Amino acid sequence: MGGGRRWPLKLVVKGTSSPVRLAVGIAVAGLAWNASPRPAVAADSSFSSSREKISSAVDGVIRSSRAIYTIAFVVVDYKYSLRSLPPGSSDYRMKVSEVHLRSAKRLLKLCEANKGFYVKAGQFVSSLRQVPKEYTSILSSLQDQAIPCHFKDIEDVIASNLGKDLSEIFLAFDEQPIAAASIAQVHHGLLKNNQEVAVKYPGLEQKMKIDITTMAILSKSVSRIFPDYRFDRIIEEFERAMALELDFIQEAKNSERAARYFRNNKIVRIPGVFWDLTTSQVLTMQFCSGHKVDDVEFMRDSNINPREVAKSLMDIFAQMIFVHGFVHGDPHPGNILVSREGRTGFSIVLLDHGIYRELDERFRSDYCELWKALILLDSKKIQLLGKKFGVGKYSKYFPVIFTGRTMESKSALGTQLSNEERRLLKQELRSLKMDDISAFMECLPSDFFPILRTDGLLRSILGKLGAPRHVRLLAYAKYALYGLETHENLDHGLTASSVLCAFRANISYFWLRILLEFLTLVSQIEDARRSLANKLKRILHKVVRFFYQSSFFLV
């Protein structure tokens, strides 16, 4: 199995501007702080090791320089463009949208130039619901970008971690990756026993800490200029997520735990782990074929109903959130496959188990209560839970965030707000100050943020599958009730107690569905009554106008 040639890195630093000098300091500090370098490959010589460190240092300077230069431009643009506009005015909102767009494009260029870790950071930001839509729209183009590593590097890392050459372990090993993400890539292989496997290898741990150091310094600087935006909090969450995603032992454990929780689910497939071929730097899993969950054309060609896939997907993640309290943190389409295999005509394959969030038990229970109250629009319960979550008066925005309704909404669950409700909501949101938004985000428990991110990704997938809005809402309602009934030791599987709890939850859900259908019917009757009343008014107005005009001409 041959690998491509390894070409020496040639980089030139031009100019001696202060950003470059500052970047040198950051890069050197990052190198000194970097206590966990890239997995060692039996070093040929001290010269080779020194050359690698120098190359890494120079590359760190270049990458940090770009980052500082870009962020400086972004900060100046915001300060200069908005300096004379009163916050909250229509001119301010229009101008800030323009600056958001320019800044997002600059950050996109930065991510594309620095690649690797920066691409992952851009992907992370694009999936956050709390950032301006201009950023999520522009940076979402990074979701499919990745640069494969040299195959020789992969051979070396696998050999040093598993203690054998590729030819001693595999009958065949594809040099081209089947998936190349921003921080890791996956290759298809065939073991000596003809078992198909997927082998995952990290691609940028060496640069990770330098880049995070740069981002942390920049985020603190920007946060001082824009105190209403907590960039440092986003960086902290991102650093935690990346540390988890690069720990393949933890990813393997997460995978097995999720598989245990879903062992009675015939639709979910989670690849098994080959522990004898797995280390902290190499993860070997069962190979599972399939197409991305948003590949609607594949589903139609395979006679798979996209809406059924959407419903099953929501059931899976609702169960994770409300029942298991153990949530997959990165459910983008590349990590969820749809396969033709399965008793129901298809199965859903969950990949990339590096990032999971284990919810606090009290939070999980309160979140179940919140969704029950949201479905029933129980305003008193929502306000009470708002106090528990520490958001106080801002609890009135929970229905808007999660269900698209206001606290006083008369619209049926899963339907759009009426024009009047939308007008009142816009009016209220315009009265909000940045301090209010910042205070609300600060008050939210930390468990809310991965749930909001996961929910945002799921909504995007449901939209691509053409699923109606109520699919998500009913799945959340159903499993919120399940979560309130029981949270027994999930590793014990089916027991008499768990069956009884599930039965009670099903009864509760049945009555809730009846109530929701009744409320929907009442809402439709009310809409029809209003529509009929408006039509009668228009007809009466036309009749009066006709007689008035007729009498005018007669005179």
Distance CA 396, CA 408 (A): 9
234, 222 in Cβ contact below 8 A?
A: no
Pairing of strands 268-269, 347-350: parallel
462, 471 in Cβ contact below 8 A?
A: yes
Query: Which residues have C-beta within 8 Å of that of residue 366, sequence separation ≥ 6?
Result: 385, 388, 389
Q: Residue 47: in which H helix or E strand, if any?
A: helix 46-81
Query: Which residues have C-beta within 8 Å of that of residue 555, sequence separation ≥ 6?
Result: none
Distance CA 315, CA 476 (A): 8
Q: Which position has the token pair 């050459």?
A: 165
Q: Which of 211, 294, 295, 330 is catalytic?
A: 330
Distance CA 170, CA 182 (A): 26
Beta-strand ranges (E) seen in 343-400 are 347-350, 356-358
Q: Which position has the token pair 């009470």?
A: 384
Residues recorded for the chain: 555
Q: Residue 438: in which H helix or E strand, if any?
A: helix 434-443
299, 305 in Cβ contact below 8 A?
A: yes
Q: Residue 326: in which H helix or E strand, if any?
A: strand 326-328
Annotated active-site residue 330? The verdict is yes
Positive or negative: CA dihedral 282, 288, 294, 295: positive
Residues serving a catalytic function are 330
